C-alpha cells in the first residue's frame, strides 16, 4: 500500500451500497475487517477504539455498516447471521480489489452477533482469512458445521462477568478446527464498560493479529 487509505468508502453488496470507514497507515502490514454486533454500527465507540489501537500497530481497518438504518430497526435482521456474513463477504471482496489493500493479509474482528458472521466468512474463505478475533461474541450462532470448518486461528475474548456468553464461547472453542484461544477479562461484562476492560481487549487483539497477520505477510524464502 503506497498511499493513505480513504476514510469513507461505499461497498457494493447486491442491490445495496454499504457505508464504511477505511483507514490505515501509508504502509500497512495487514487489514482487519470489523463486523459489529446487533444494534450497533461502524460508529460503535468500542470497535472504533480497538480499530485505532490496531492502526497504531500498523494495520489498516475497515469498519462497516452491515445493515442499513431501516434494516437495523428489524430485530430479526440483526440476528440474520447469513445476511451479515454475506455482506461481510462482499466487504472482503471489496478490500481484495481496492488498490491500497490488495494483497494484504486479512483478519476479522467480530463483536456479539458479528463474531458469528466473521466465523462464517472465515470458513468460506480459508485461503484469505489469516486470523479472527471475537469480542463478547456469539460463535455458537455460526453453527457447529461452520465452527468445524474454520481454519483461521481464532481468539475468543469474553468478560468474566458475562457468564452465559462465556459458557457458549467455551463450548465453541472446542469445536473450532483451526485452533482457538480463550481470554477471559476479569470482572468485565458484555460491553466491556469497566475500567481497563476495553484496553485489555485491544491489547489482546493487537497481539493476536500481530502474531498471525505479520507472519502471513512475510514472503517465503527464496531458493
The answer for 46, left when phi > 0, alpha when psi is -120 to 50, beta otherwise, is alpha
Q: Which domains does the chain have, with CATH numbers?
A: 8-96+106-216 (3.40.50.1820)
The answer for 115, left when phi > 0, alpha when psi is -120 to 50, beta otherwise, is alpha
What is the four-CA torsion angle of 108, 64, 73, 139, rounded to 10 degrees?
Answer: 0
Q: What is the tens place of the pLDDT at every residue in 22-58?
A: 999 888 999 999 998 665 566 678 889 999 999 999 9
Give the Cβ contact number of residue 219 at 10 Å. Answer: 5
If you search the block for the grid coordinates 452465559, which residue do you land on?
164
Whether 20 contacts 5, CB under 8 Å: no
pTM of the entire structure?
0.91
Q: What is the tens place of the pLDDT at every residue in 176-216?
A: 988 899 999 999 999 899 999 999 999 999 999 999 998 66
Amino acid at each position: 500500500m503506497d498511499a493513505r487509505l480513504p476514510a469513507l468508502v461505499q461497498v457494493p453488496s447486491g442491490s445495496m451500497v454499504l457505508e464504511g470507514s477505511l483507514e490505515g497507515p501509508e504502509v500497512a502490514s495487514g487489514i482487519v475487517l470489523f463486523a459489529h454486533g446487533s444494534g450497533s454500527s461502524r460508529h460503535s465507540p468500542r470497535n472504533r477504539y480497538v480499530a485505532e489501537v490496531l492502526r497504531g500497530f500498523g494495520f489498516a481497518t475497515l469498519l462497516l455498516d452491515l445493515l442499513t438504518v431501516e434494516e437495523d430497526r428489524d430485530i430479526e435482521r440483526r440476528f440474520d447471521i447469513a445476511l451479515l456474513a454475506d455482506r461481510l463477504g462482499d466487504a472482503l471482496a471489496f478490500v481484495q480489489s481496492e488498490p491500497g489493500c490488495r494483497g494484504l493479509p486479512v483478519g476479522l474482528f467480530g463483536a456479539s452477533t458479528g463474531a458469528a458472521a466473521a466465523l462464517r466468512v472465515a470458513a468460506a474463505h480459508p485461503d484469505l482469512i489469516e486470523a479472527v478475533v471475537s469480542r463478547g461474541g456469539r460463535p455458537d450462532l455460526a453453527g457447529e458445521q461452520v465452527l468445524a470448518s474454520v481454519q483461521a486461528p481464532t481468539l475468543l475474548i469474553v468478560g468474566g462477568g458475562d457468564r452465559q456468553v462465556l459458557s457458549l464461547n467455551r463450548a465453541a472453542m472446542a469445536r473450532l478446527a483451526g485452533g482457538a484461544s480463550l481470554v477471559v477479562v476479569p470482572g468485565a461484562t458484555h460491553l466491556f464498560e469497566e475500567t481497563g476492560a476495553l484496553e485489555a481487549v485491544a491489547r489482546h487483539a493487537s497481539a493476536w493479529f500481530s502474531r498471525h497477520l505479520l507472519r502471513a505477510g512475510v514472503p517465503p524464502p527464496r531458493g
